[in-house]
Amino acid sequence: MITRSPAPLQRHDEAEEPAIATTGTAALTTTADTTAITHVDVPTDSEHTAPLSLPPAWQAQLSGAIRDPRELCRRLGLDERWLPGAEAGHSLFEVRVPEAFLARMRPGDPGDPLLRQVLPLGEETQPTPGYVADPLEEAAHTPAKGLIHKYHGRVLLITSPACAVNCRYCFRRHFPYAENSPSMAQWDASLDTLRNDPSITEAILSGGDPLATSDRRLAWLSERLEAIPHLKRLRIHTRLPVVIPERIDAELLGWLGATRLQKVVVLHINHANEIDESVIAACRRLSDAGVTLLNQSVLLRGVNDTVETLAALSERLFEAGVLPYYLHVLDPVTGAAHFDVPDDEARELVAGLRGVLPGFLMPRLVREIPGKASKTPL
């Protein structure tokens, strides 16, 4: 039985979207496995029937993501000995890998740094002391459903329960999305919280991945956020521009470029191989829309735990117009202990980085400790 997986992806015209005229078009709702026409307005003039409205290309890629560990192993030419562990890990947190991300992996190499981030392993089933379901204790900082308020001046809205890719080290792999799945009514309640607290100057859209939500819903939310006079910034934490670069399309850039709020997109990239030319092009489109681009990585055993790998990541990020921001040590979430790099080793790696990188390419090594007023430098 699959447990603690992000909720099914909703597409195009999602439930409880604001009313939008759809005369002459069909509204499509696509789950990860099916596409169904949920509404068709029949024109009174049958000679001028409008074509069905098709979902954007990025949504088709979301729907077509690999969600079977056997298929993932087969596509990458992995030996069958990897399959039992992959299926065991998948039973706890399901596989989800988009084709565009899969294409950057080396076939036949189980140590590929991109594959290691998404391939379930048997180690995920082994309990480890100190590793828990809610390592950041976010449940204690949820004043309303789908709203997390841990730090002064900023709040985080769970904008989507879905991700484009399921990263095995995710600190929210056990998050109760079913209890915090965003609806328009829930967003209204969150917006009331923001309106009534003038100390809040920044709204952070997170998830899941906020960009897995339709642009109509995101535009609706953005318009209401910018109407709150004391809000200054809109920050979006996302992996979608990396794993499906086509997500950065004209519709997204339209609402994002229109807001008065300062715009920050924090990407989640852990290895230079994740950044191909399509990712660089997506980053440029965001920059052209007035977005500040930052990156936060997680230090992961077997993925980026060498000075050379981390230096190459910083250099490649800068080529894409993205500044390194944070290098997080692993959050102790159940199922991810095999990725851990001890703090002393992490400090040595950062010391080595200082010897080869200019200061502006140095990410800050941090740990997030529950109850602290900010991230803790190491």
Local structure of 37: helix, strand or coil: strand
Is position 217 within any domain? Answer: yes
User: Is residue 73 marked as binding?
Assistant: no
Predicted model pTM: 0.85
Cβ neighbors of 186 (< 8 A, separation 6 or more) are 144, 145, 146, 180
User: Is residue 163 marked as binding?
Assistant: yes
Please report, for residues 58, 125, 264, the alpha-carbon distance to residue 320 in angstroms, rounded to integers and kept in the order given.
21, 37, 15
Q: What number is the average pLDDT over the span 138-157? A: 81
pLDDT tens, position by position, 284-334: 999 999 999 999 999 999 999 999 999 999 999 999 999 999 999 999 999
Give residue 345's domain range: 138-377
pLDDT in the model for residue 146 = 79
Is position 220 within any domain? Answer: yes
pLDDT in the model for residue 198 = 97
Is position 264 within any domain? Answer: yes
297 within 8 A of 270, measured Cβ to Cβ: yes
pLDDT in the model for residue 16 = 39
Considering only CA atoms, which of 268, 251, 148 is closest in space to residue 204? Answer: 148
pLDDT in the model for residue 181 = 63
d(CA 361, CA 104): 24
Report the length, in residues, of the chain.
Answer: 378
54 — pLDDT class (breaks 50, 70, 90): low
Is position 70 within any domain? Answer: no
- Looking up residue 157, the CATH number of its domain turns out to be 3.20.20.70
Considering only CA atoms, which of 271, 308, 280 is closest in space to residue 167? Answer: 271
Determine the Cα angle at 344 with ends 338 and 345, to 5°.
Answer: 55
**pLDDT > 80? residue 212:** yes
53 — pLDDT class (breaks 50, 70, 90): low
101 within 8 A of 278, measured Cβ to Cβ: no
Number of domains into which the chain is organized:
1
- The percentage of residues in the chain with a pLDDT greater than 70, rounded to a whole number, is 82
Selected residue with higher pLDDT from 38 and 112 = 112
Q: What number is the average pLDDT over the span 342-357? A: 98
**pLDDT > 60? residue 356:** yes
35 — pLDDT class (breaks 50, 70, 90): very low
Is position 328 within any domain? Answer: yes
Is position 252 within any domain? Answer: yes
208 — pLDDT class (breaks 50, 70, 90): confident
Is position 46 within any domain? Answer: no
Is position 294 within any domain? Answer: yes
**pLDDT > 70? residue 3:** no
d(CA 131, CA 137): 12
